[in-house]
Amino acid sequence: MRVLVTGSSGLIGSALVRSLEVEGHQVTRLVRRPPARPQEVSWDPGKGSIDAAALEGHDAAVHLAGANIGDHRWTDEYKARILDSRLEGTGLLARTLGSLDRPPKVLASGSAIGFYGDRGDEELTEASSPGTGFLAEVVQAWETAAGPAREAGIRVAYLRTGVVQSAEGGALGRQLLPFKLALGGRIGSGRQWLSWIEMTDQVRAISHVLEHDSLDGPVNLTAPNPVTSAEYAKTLGRVLHRPTVLPIPTPALQLMLGRQLVSEMLLGGQRVLPAALESSGYAFANPHLEAALAAAIGRSSPTA
């Protein structure tokens, strides 16, 4: 396949591009700078500019670009950036793909399980209703922005991604050092649910979405065995052979990251199940957390 990818320099995007190329696919990267090689195409969502002619003839598109949600305080300015970076990029890409003479058959558009809001112990599938809160509102608008591609007849899958486990970055990457220093532990009560997916399954699941026409609309990219925050901390400590006795102080997190981010992303949670993926025949490489963490950490540092 010829696959167009946005966000190719990010944690997920870079892993996806490597995987696609190993599988023999031809990857075109949509980048926000002048192209440095033939496989790159320039765009600027903020200015509404894109090289549409260079997008003709791709079989599939994967849209992963957007401002990082979890590593900045949610000031009013940054919240606007989170939303705008998703709406501008998704809308521009969807409109452009829909206008092509030879559009892709499928657009796998980034999304997140934040769609469901904080739902306690409720088991959530793609059929579940949207939740409330800043993240839920962002994700709903984000998915809606892909509408022009769907209206043009392109199959659009919304990749509702959970907490991706990779030692190279993201949530796990940020936690490794404190846990290795025996300073890691549960967050808050520890009863909130954490729906996760190991990077190998993240990229394999995206490829699976591209190849299976039945996956249309929302697709939860989460492992089939979500855990609570307390279970996650205990498991990571066990994998690293470190104690996890002390909880992480909530006031310290609020001081560093702000109350709203901590409330929605760390003290709230979702118990999300990958119903669409599993019903389409996807088999997880790492369905259980302990093996998934060992695999993720082992790939990054064999001596960890």
**Looking at residue 299, what is its pLDDT?**
66
pTM of the predicted model as reported, rounded to 2 decimal places: 0.94
Structure confidence by residue, pLDDT tens digits, 229-281: 999 999 999 999 999 988 888 998 898 889 999 999 999 999 999 999 999 99
Domain count, the chain: 1
Cα dihedral across residues 157, 123, 222, 160: positive or negative: positive
Structure confidence by residue, pLDDT tens digits, 145-200: 999 999 999 999 999 999 999 999 999 999 999 999 999 999 999 999 999 999 99
**Looking at residue 31, what is its pLDDT?**
95
Q: What is the CATH number of the domain that holds 162?
A: 3.40.50.720
User: What residues make up the domain containing 37?
Assistant: 2-300
**Looking at residue 70, what is its pLDDT?**
83
pLDDT of 16 > 90? The answer is yes
pLDDT-derived band at 72 (thresholds 50, 70, 90) equals: confident
Question: How much of the chain exceeds pLDDT 90, in percent?
Answer: 89
